[in-house]
Amino acid sequence: MSKKNINYLGRDFSELKNNLQTFIKSYYSNQYQDFTESSAGEMMIDLAAYVGDVLGFHMDRNLQELFSSNPKQRRNAIELAKRLGYKPKSSVSSQTDIDVYITVPSTGTIENKVPDSNYLPILKKNTKLRSNTNPSITFELIEDLNFKIDLGDSKTEKTIAETDVNGFATKFLLKKSIPIVSGETKSFNINVTTPQKYLSIEMPSDTISEIIEIKDADDNIWYEVDSLAQDTIFVDEENLLQNDPESSNDTSTVSYNLKLKRVPKRFTTHIDENNLTYINFGSGVSDSNDEELIPNPMNVGSPLLNASNKFDYALDPENFLKTKTFGEAPSNTTLTIKYRNGGGIKTNTP
């Protein structure tokens, strides 16, 4: 059979129609010769050209939105950013570091005066601060400011504030830096009764910069992960052996220890084209263990491996969708969702 010459360059309606007519005249001239506008064959050619024109338009648009650095639709820009590893947010908070100063009395021997640890405070996470130049903007601490930690380290500056008549220190001035972020911490409650696979919750604001914490009625913490398939996260714990002279551990000089934690209660977040933030939970809606839902040698297999023949064991295909592989789904509880609201360029301040 002879090889047919097909032209892939004609993309609009008129070019597609002309190419179809040329193709028919070249390869099917004996079967069809009527190319008048009123003929039934010409109607079929017009329909084929119209379908090709529409398909070509949508194909070009999809490719443009997929590979272009300037997508026309915000939804497509968000999806493209996710594929490139960037997680869009509905709002971005201003961040900076501040210096906190305190004066504390001294203690110790005359030759070795040190700050009295009984007077070293802890500023808790989410403590609110305001700028003198723009008091309408609220900033918050994003971690605890603990003066007891790193007291002998370069992270905490220590100078003598007052001395007695003999020149010995009676008060110390301590300075410690801490990161802060703009925005206001808010929370709302949502009741969940029947477990639902991949439950999605819409947040009540379009200027949310982050989800701070989610707790259920039993004080269980739900952790944010990059994807529901991620079942572990890294957490930092205060090092209780820090500056312990009796500890021979090499980690006694660090403030925190990094540990790996399994998180069956987890969630992910994403935004849509309207800047609304959504929280998505997992698919584990069954109270049974995954071992009872997923086939294993104990519930199905050869009679040589089991005490009894379980070839007649009934498997429910729906069970595969109820496992906790992608995290648990909340049920019969009240979720308290704490989030940071606000941000954007208007929150910049000297």
- Identify the band that residue 11 occupies on the pLDDT scale cut at 50, 70 and 90: confident
Please provide the distance, in angstroms rounded to a whole number, between the alpha carbons at the two ends of the chain: 79
| Phi, psi of 233, rounded to the nearest 5 degrees | -135, 165
pLDDT of residue 5: 65
Place of tokens 């930092």: 236
**pTM (global) more than 0.85:** no
pLDDT in tens, 51-65: 999 998 888 777 766
User: Per residue in 318-347, pLDDT tens?
Assistant: 555 556 678 888 989 999 999 998 877 888
Between 183 and 316, the higher pLDDT residue: 183
238-264: pLDDT as tens digits: 777 766 656 555 556 777 788 899 898
Furthest CA-CA distance within the chain: 120
Nearest-5° Cα angle at 159, 153 to 160:
135
Look at residue 242 in the predicted model and tell me its pLDDT.
Answer: 67
Does residue 173 have a pLDDT over 80?
Answer: yes
Q: Enumerate helices (H) and strands (E) in the chain, giving the number of each.
A: 4, 17
Nearest Cα residue to 327 out of 282, 290, 288:
282
Contacts of range 106-115, beta carbons closer than 8 Å, 24 or more positions apart: 106/168, 106/169, 106/170, 106/171, 106/172, 110/168, 113/168, 113/169, 113/172, 114/172, 115/151, 115/158, 115/172, 115/174
* C-alpha–C-alpha distance, residues 120 and 148, integer Å: 6
Q: Which residue has the tokens 């338009």?
A: 57
Q: How high is the pLDDT of residue 304? A: 47
**Residue with the two structure tokens 């519930």:** 299
The Cα 66–Cα 70 span in angstroms is: 10
Query: Beta strand pairing status for 266-271 and 221-224?
Result: parallel
